[in-house]
Amino acid sequence: MGTNGSLSGDPTPGGRTTVQRTIPVIGGCPFERDWRCVSLVLPVRYLVLASTDNGHTVSLKWNIICDQPIDLFEIERSIDNIHFDKVAQQDATGIRLNFLEQVMADDNIDVVSAPVIFYRIKVIAKDGQVAYSNIVIVRKQKTAATFSVFPNPANDLVNIRYYAEKETEASIILFDQLGKLVKTQKIKLNKGMNVVPLTGLSAYSNGVYQLRFGIDSEMQTSKLIIQH
């Protein structure tokens, strides 16, 4: 290129020419617009996150194409889609440049009480640059609360323990070894943990009984051993 940008001039190579570098200020912060500056080139060309709720855990899977060497993947979780916390990290050793790679991880959600959980993947490059995946939403599966009985074997009394989400009424039904109904009882449950006694078991002979515990149309069953 010749003088003043013309297409004519001395084509002899080896000349030294200063290229103008301008750093305008945008929003009060300097912004490098020179095409030679690579600090604004993101380390990731393609990054898509997907999730599957397995009940107690969430399986996360992300596909990625990297343009620069990657150091770490950080798994971030949120319950409000605003504040994200790192819950795990994975070494990115072995991730090839310019290849579609797939990475997987699991997260235990038993400790999360919120009904909706948000996830994203934070990618950290070797040079410190950061990129984020899309955000996925997981709605926790509702699982029925289970009841337990103790002591078991029992002599005359057995306690039924159950956590109720609200005040409600439950039914207790006892069947003998032949499937014959031998006892029914209605109980009132308070919100929270309940321990309800079932008495009078000494009137029944030793053996394995079927204890049913139900709220509305939902019935759960446990074996109860009566032993005097």
Reported as a single tens digit per residue, the pLDDT across 75-93 is 999 999 999 999 999 999 8
Burial 38-68 (b: 16+ CB within 10 A, else e): eeeeebbeebebebeeeeeebebebebbbeb
Say whether pLDDT at 17 is over 50.
no
CB 28 within 8 A of CB 53: no
Question: Which of these CATH numbers, 3.30.830.10, 3.30.450.20, 2.60.40.10, 3.40.50.300, describes 44-139?
Answer: 2.60.40.10
Report pLDDT digits (tens) over 147-186.
889 999 999 999 998 888 789 999 999 999 899 999 999 9
Residues carrying CATH 2.60.40.2550, the chain: 148-226
Q: How does residue 144 score in pLDDT terms, banded at 50, 70 and 90?
A: low
Q: Tell me which amino acid residue 87 is.
A: V
Q: How does residue 115 score in pLDDT terms, banded at 50, 70 and 90?
A: confident
DSSP string for residues in 6-29? -S-S---S----PPP----EETTE
CB 177 within 8 A of CB 208: yes
**Distance separating alpha carbons of residues 166 and 189, to the nearest angstrom:** 8
Say whether pLDDT at 224 is over 80.
yes
Q: How does residue 192 score in pLDDT terms, banded at 50, 70 and 90?
A: confident
- Write out the two tokens for 175: 């069947």
The sign of the torsion formed by the CA atoms of 83, 89, 93, 95 equals negative
Highest mean pLDDT among 41-45, 71-75, 224-228: 71-75
Residues carrying CATH 2.60.40.10, the chain: 44-139
The sign of the torsion formed by the CA atoms of 156, 223, 57, 166 equals negative
CB 133 within 8 A of CB 124: no
CATH code of the domain occupying 148-226: 2.60.40.2550
Helices (H) and strands (E) in the chain, counts: 0, 17
Q: What's the pLDDT at 28?
A: 44
The mean of the pLDDT values for the chain is 83
Q: What's the pLDDT at 44?
A: 92
